[in-house]
A and B are shown apart, each in its own frame.
Chain A
Amino acid sequence: MNNPLLLDIADVSVDFRTIAGTVNAVRRIGFAVRHGETLAVVGESGSGKSVTARAIMSMLATNATVGADAKIVFDGQDISNYSEEQMCQIRGDRIAMIFQEPLTSLNPLYRVGDQVAENILAHRPMSKSAAAAEVVRLFEEVRLPEPEARRAQYPHQMSGGQRQRVMIAMALANNPDLLIADEPTTALDVTVQAEILALLKSLQRKHKMAVILITHDLTVVRKTSDQVVVMRAGEIVERGATEKVFKDPQHEYTRHLLASEPKGRPDPLAEGAQPLLVGQNVRVSFKTKHGSFFARKTLDEVAVNSLSATIRKGESLGLVGESGAGKSTFGMALIRLIHADDGTIKFDDVQIDGRSRKQMRPLRPRIQVVFQDPFSSLNPRMIVRQIIEEGLIVNSIGATSQARKQIIAEVLADVQMPADVMDRFPHEFSGGQRQRIAIARSLALRPEFILLDEPTSALDLSIQAQIIDLLRVLRAKHGLSYLFISHDLKVVRALCHNVLVMRNGEIVESGPTEQVLGEPRTAYTKRLVNAAFYADATEPADQSPAD
């Protein structure tokens, strides 16, 4: 593309002043975006992607300073020294932004139509009724069903995908020349994600906007961008045409990033493995009370509707589905962390449903769990040693503190962490390292079964791959069985022998992973598979599907 330059930034540095010293979040980076082009900025969390975007909009936090020699040239004007008033003219009018979290980027107290209209009225002189008509037109454009009625709704009445459409409508309100989309689909389910990306693409063509797409998802980059900038630790390590960078990455880090999509297949399952954890007709419902005080009614919301699952010794069973499908509830009910109303659950031929928490205690070391969010699954006030030691103390494993220390050092080695991390607090570690500590906490009890509740979804791609490798190694070493809950089909394919597809509390499809993902029988599974692997399948011929 040889369109004229729209945005040209050079020597942009951003420093954050914190109590622990100055952090250089972005170091002298520069890139250019042409009219009508999509530039993807990829990198892992903490690489400075979002900070760069905010620096362009001059929307940084108060403790941040932009380097004095930074040049931000937008449409021929150097806007790096613009005053707040001048920036207000540009923001939302010529440069618009979409944020990651559609839940929090809309004000819950105002109708969505008014929020979009506010943006129109701030930049264009027009009557309120004309603005309202404009809002309806925009809602039609972002393909919100019943745009007229939507205008009067509040954010909580909409789904995540719909809210993100409202955000896009707001961004488009004044026909911007440049749209900065900061991880616009990260918080959404895969199928919704695909729809939003398609919408963005078509709107971009129609309005001839330039788009800066910030993302960590390589599939998204490949699918949507013309140019790509790869960032790492506040610096640009590689830039160029997307196709070229993907085909022939120059920098080692880019190669590393590209190689980190989950790969491989699970080791084959031994013939005739005995069932370890069996759930039959497990039903979980949540009771909500409604009605007046004197005519109280309870509503049973069935989250898991009489489902059965069997995990054999040494098997990894994948449990996939979109958010709200009841995956976690089913998994937690199977290991008795959530109460099931009905059904039988057997662990190693011992019935465990109906047992009290106290009665479950002898079995706890054998059944472990790793949670999704490594930032909330480790107590911030305990050091790593105390975190891992707790299970040992509670279950009287290791007679002396020395013996326990020995066990802790062993499991830390198992998860490939050095033993000297024992005296550190969780906040000193990155997400991937924390997840390793969480896995070590489970492993310390020498379990036979681990429930993995989306253990990689909060992690960066390359870390994700490392954790998957680690889980595979640990399974082989300790003969573990996994129930792996995930919405990421790529990860499931790399780790699980069998898979259950859940939707709205029901299992819609089940069977060996290759079969279910290779030849999905139901429309729902097909949609999931398309959304997850579609970009791979429609790439230029030289791009084989990931692995």
Chain B
Amino acid sequence: MYEAPAQASLSYWQLVRRRLAANRYGMAGMFGCVLIIATALFAGFLAPYGRETKNVAAIYSPPQLVRVYDGQLSAPFVYGFGEELDPITYEITFVPDPAQRAEIDFWVTGDTWSLLGLMEFSTHLFGTEPGKFIHILGTDNLGRDVFSRMLYGTQITLLMGFVVMAAACLLGVAVGVTSGYFSGNIDAVTQRIVEFVKSFPDLPLYLALVALIPRRAEPLTVFILFAAILVLLRWTDISRELRGKVIAIRSMEYVRAAVAVGASDPRIIARHIVPNTSSHIIVWATYQLPEIILLETFLSFLGLGVQAPMVSWGTILNQVRDTQALVAAPWLMAPVGMIVISVLAFNAFGDGLRDAMDPYSNE
């Protein structure tokens, strides 16, 4: 009689976890992803103001420096700005005005915000006493706080990323698995459809499709239609890749053994085929997110994506689409930093996952 192996060896997912933990770049990426997702969830708490709160006293006000020294060390505070007119160029410049000093308070009560639309809160991480303002990344043309809007923008941009990724994944997996598993005519037809969709020139098609969205529609409708357009053009890659994988798995002996015990097609697909492609799907999905974020930002920047009053990183950038605005208020470029960080983080995480899930790597 055989003895069972004395020490339980590691399961596949345990191995993946260990390999990922050993990869510093991947772990940094994962940490970054968690931070960004947390930012999106708790944007209302982290942001001192609501997305539409206007400070009419500060239009195009530059970022304020958080100070801790006013002749002696003190609690953090900011100075408001005084306006000065340049006597030669008549250009208005902003100078910190020590008279308008605002202390930074923590756990202040302010605009109400909701967590996932379920619970309402009005506590913010930081803020100032009522009647004074803090804009650490400045304000825009309507006096709205760029920092707060950028955090709220994270919500829409990430939501768009996840929705498009999940829907494209579902569609791509369903088509790819069906096509690969049943082969024959089904395969021939679906693959021609995939090729047809892939042959569209992406950008002109996005622009054309977006132009079809009614301008007067509700922002939510626009959001959904916009997501649908992105999905429509994104599902083909994964379906192609999966079809190949499924064809390989279909000829594995464990699948033939399942046929031999009398298992039905749906059972074989659900129990044998899809679980064995899961690592591929997960890695693909992680790589998709940054791409969708970039695309969404780009289209929203062109004014074609998310519509006001929804805020995404792209719509904030949309405000500086001409040179004049850019020169006047360069701080409106702040979302670029968030975009770079999130794209790097998701890519690093995706790389780490891919390496960790490679069954042949053993280091």
Which positions in A face B, CB cutoff 8 Å?
A: 16-20, 62-63, 335, 337, 357, 360-361, 364-365, 367-369, 371-373, 376-382, 390-391, 394-395, 416-418, 420-421, 424-425, 427-429, 433, 436, 438, 441, 445
Contact for B3 among A364, A390, A394, A418, CB less than 8 A? A418
Residues from chain B with a CB closer than 8 A to the CB of A371 are 253, 256-257
Whether B220 is near chain A, meaning CB under 8 Å from some CB there, is no
B268 to chain A, nearest CB (A): 10
> Is A428 touching B9 in the complex (CB atoms < 8 A)?
yes
Distance in angstroms between the alpha carbons of A380 and B2 in the assembled complex: 21
B101 CB–A CB distance under 8 Å: no
Partner among B9, B12, B256, B258 whose Cβ is within 8 Å of the Cβ of A380? B12
A376: chain B residues at CB < 8 Å are 252-254
CB distance from B20 to the nearest CB of A (A): 10
Residue B199, interface by CB 8 Å:
no
Question: Which B residues are in CB contact (< 8 Å) with A417?
Answer: 1-2, 4
Q: Name the residue of chain A whose CB is nearest to the CB of B263.
A: A394
Q: Which residue of A lies closest to B265 (CB)?
A: A357
Instruction: Give me 12 A-to-B residue pairs in the complex whose CB atoms sit less than 8 angstroms apart, sorted by A's number.
Output: A19-B18, A20-B10, A369-B260, A380-B12, A391-B261, A391-B263, A394-B261, A394-B264, A416-B1, A418-B3, A427-B9, A441-B257
Most buried by B among A382, A390, A424: A390
- The answer for the CA separation of A63 and B10 in the assembled complex, in Å, is 19
Sample of 9 more A-B contacts, CB < 8 Å, known A357-B259, A420-B4, A428-B9: A18-B363, A19-B362, A369-B257, A379-B276, A380-B12, A391-B262, A395-B262, A418-B3, A421-B4
Are A19 and B22 in contact, CB atoms less than 8 angstroms apart? yes
Which chain A residues lie closer than 8 Å to B259 at the CB level? 337, 357
Q: B258 to chain A: which residues have CB within 8 Å?
A: 390
How long is the Cα–Cα vector from A360 to B263 in the complex, in angstroms? Answer: 11
Interface residue? B8 (CB, 8 A) = yes
Chain B: which residue is nearest A445 at the CB level? B261
Q: How far is the CA of A368 from the CA of B262 in the complex (A)?
A: 10
Q: How far is the CB of B5 from chain A (nearest CB, A)?
A: 5
Q: How far is the CA of A137 from the CA of B9 in the complex (A)?
A: 52
CA distance A371 to B261 in the complex (A): 13
A357, A372, A379, A424 — which one has the most chain B CB atoms within 10 A of its CB?
A379
In whole Å, how far is A53's beta carbon from the nearest beta carbon of chain B?
20
Residue contact A418 to B362, C-beta cutoff 8 Å: no
Name the distance in Å between A468's Cβ and chain B's nearest Cβ.
Answer: 16
Closest chain-A Cβ to B19's Cβ sits at a distance in Å of: 5
- State in angstroms the CA–CA spacing of A191 and B357 once bound together: 42
Closest CB in chain B relative to A305 CB, distance in Å: 23
Interface string of B24-66 (1 = CB under 8 A from A): 0000000000000000000000000000000000000000000
Given contacts A418-B3, A436-B2, is CB(A425)–CB(B11) below 8 Å? yes
Distance, CA A427 to CA B13, complexed state (A): 13
- The answer to whether A433 touches B257 (Cβ under 8 A) is no
Are B2 and A416 within 8 A (Cβ)?
yes
B-chain residues with CB within 8 Å of residue A390 when the two chains form the complex = 258, 261, 263, 271
Residue in contact with A418 in the complex, picked from B4, B8, B12, B256, CB distance below 8 Å: B4
Across-interface contacts of A63 in B (CB, < 8 A): 362-363
Residue of A nearest to B275 (CB): A381
In the bound complex, how far is the Cα of B11 from the Cα of A392, in angstroms?
Answer: 25
B15 interface residue per 8 A CB criterion:
yes
Give per-residue flags for B250-293: 1 if the beta carbon is below 8 A from chain A beta carbons, else 0. Answer: 00111011111111100100011001101000000000000000
Tell me which residues from 235 to 260 in chain B have a Cβ below 8 Å from any Cβ of chain A. Answer: 252-254, 256-260
How distant is the Cα of A156 from the Cα of B44 in the complex, in angstroms?
64
Q: Would A364 and B261 be within 8 Å (CB), given that A19-B362, A63-B363 are in contact? A: yes
Q: How many angstroms between the C-alpha atoms of A275 and B132 in the bound complex? A: 97
Minimum C-beta distance from A115 to chain B (A): 26
Docked pose: A62 CA to B253 CA in angstroms: 32
Residue from A18, A379, A418, A427 in contact with B272 in the complex, judged by beta carbons closer than 8 Å: A379
Which of B15, B264, B276 is the one whose CB lies under 8 Å from A19?
B15
| Contacting pair B272 A395 (CB below 8 A) | no
Q: A376-B252, A376-B254, A418-B2 in contact; A424/B8 too (CB < 8 A)?
A: yes
Residues in B neighbouring A418, C-beta threshold 8 A = 1-4
Q: Is the beta-carbon distance between B363 and A19 smaller than 8 angstroms?
A: yes
A426 nearest CB neighbor, chain B only: B254
Distance A424 CA – B272 CA, assembled complex (angstroms):
17
Question: In the complex, A351 Cα to B324 Cα: how many Å?
Answer: 85
Whole-angstrom CA separation of A32 from B190 in the bound complex: 63
CA distance in complex: A381, B363 (Å): 21
Most A-side CB within 10 Å, residue of B22, B257, B260, B363:
B260
B150: shortest Cβ distance to chain A, in Å? 39
